Structure 1
């Protein structure tokens, strides 16, 4: 026990100690700023993150680092704090059936088709959406519009670069790979880069889904919000779902992750297919 009576989580001797109060405070700060819920099973991970962030910021302890965050809500280190807790697991054509549904849906809609990918991570999902739409709507960027956002600024920067290893693009059909990616040569051997015809369809920006106002001034034919709601509590999930409604065009679709079920959360969406929803008229 420490002098304050709080327990210290076990950690290597070189790691800055994190008390139970530190963990609770970090969880509150993260939840208030992003809506992400840190469960008790994330204690060890949180200790590692706070150790790294405290050292990076020049603070001598985890408690001092958290105090600085509290006292400076507009400080630049907040973004680093948020980035450290976000999960960037994504892939090209992940949950492939969604893109088959999107292609069929787009065939019935007038161009340009607009889609919001609201948890774009490092870009694989957004580029998959754009490829799918270009194949249906014609290979002209003016016919396809994808807004790709994520709370993690580093992930968005990587997405904007549009450079991936050959291993990452294995799920892309060969004909699409040739059409939309350029293979690296020489020192770039083993890498591929997004071609302009694909990159010009997408606008990337950092966006926090729990912000009181979203900097969005358009409506969308579809919204992809996949494998994101699982990190929020139910109240936050409902609020975000209800905020999606006015941003969808008539008969627009909402795509969710394979482990997410919105039917019991709100009556504003009805299930349209496998983890695909439509606004209730």
Structure 2
């Protein structure tokens, strides 16, 4: 399937004009920070044609009209789900979890034992695998973490994947990504049936899930020791990325860590407040 970029319309199943693309691109940019270049037009068509078909519309103009109406709020969530790729798995980019286990968590566990608040944020948790891996890593280093003020916040803008994260159930084939020596800690032994498995209750005790749009005000009052936001900023343009890095810097404690995706790089004014601490891992060096 190809989408014309010079003509005002396509020759595919549904009419998709330049104005339709502009409306969709502007909406997701304003609300979610997503940057849709003209080169993404074919992707937008292929992803959204399914929604138009499911809704019984005849063209993209009718779909855009729904998105802009008071009744379109719910559909905007489907739009977001369609346009973003929630590809993740357990212990993705394992080097971050190794760094947590070997370098960061021993210090944070001592801080918790001394009465300090410890907070870790999975800022684009998708279907939850990252958050559960964080909890498993914490419990390996600090088994008594639930007895202290030690919490993991896991947020995502997409309510569809967040529902999956809260449920904590995954297809059996995803279990292959969990190291054999961690399965007993992470997987509820009573849950492995009907082709799925569930996360162990001990992991759930450490995690609070919530919907959060990174482009909007953040309600958190306490600063974080570690923020993971991996492979989310790739959807943003450079200026939006730089604002996001700065906001993360503001809500991190001095000495706190920011971990980002393998194809992302810290940039803009925030870069002066961090030092490299590993592969796509940065440590905040400024007190403010």
TM-score (norm 2): 0.86
CA contact (8 A) 1:9 1:44 kept: no
SS of equivalent residue, structure 1 residue 134: helix
Q: Which runs of 5+ in 1 are unaligned?
A: none
Cα distance in 2 for residues equivalent to 1:280 and 1:140: 26
Aligned to 1:176: 182
**In structure 2, what is the Cα distance between the partners aligned to 1:165 and 1:177?**
14
Alignment of 1:136-151 (within 5 A): 136-143=141-148, 144-151=150-157
CA distance in 2, matches of 1:265, 1:36: 21
Gaps spanning 5+ residues in structure 2: where?
Answer: 1-5
Query: Of the candidates 15, 18, 29, which is equivalent to residue 16 of structure 2?
Result: 18
1:239 aligns with 2:243: yes
> Residues of 1 paired with 2:240 and 2:92: CA distance?
25
Match in the other structure for 1:217? 221
User: Which structure: greater helix fraction?
Assistant: 2
Contact kept, 8 Å, 1:149 with 1:207, in 2: the verdict is yes
Give the corresponding residue for 1:280.
285
Q: Distance in 1 between matches of 2:200 and 2:144?
A: 12
The normalised TM-score by structure 1 is 0.88
Contact 1:117–1:147 at 8 Å: present in 2 too?
yes
How far did 1:142 drift? 3.8
Query: Aligned runs of 1:4-153 on 2, under 5 Å?
Result: 6-11=7-12, 15-72=13-70, 75-103=73-101, 104-109=103-108, 110-111=111-112, 113-143=118-148, 144-153=150-159
- Residue number in structure 2 paired with 1:248: 252
Instruction: Quote the offset at 1:35 in angstroms.
Output: 0.7
1:148–1:204 Cα contact (<8 Å) kept: yes
Contact 1:119 1:148 in 2 (8 A): yes
What SS does the corresponding residue of 1:75 show, helix, strand or coil? helix
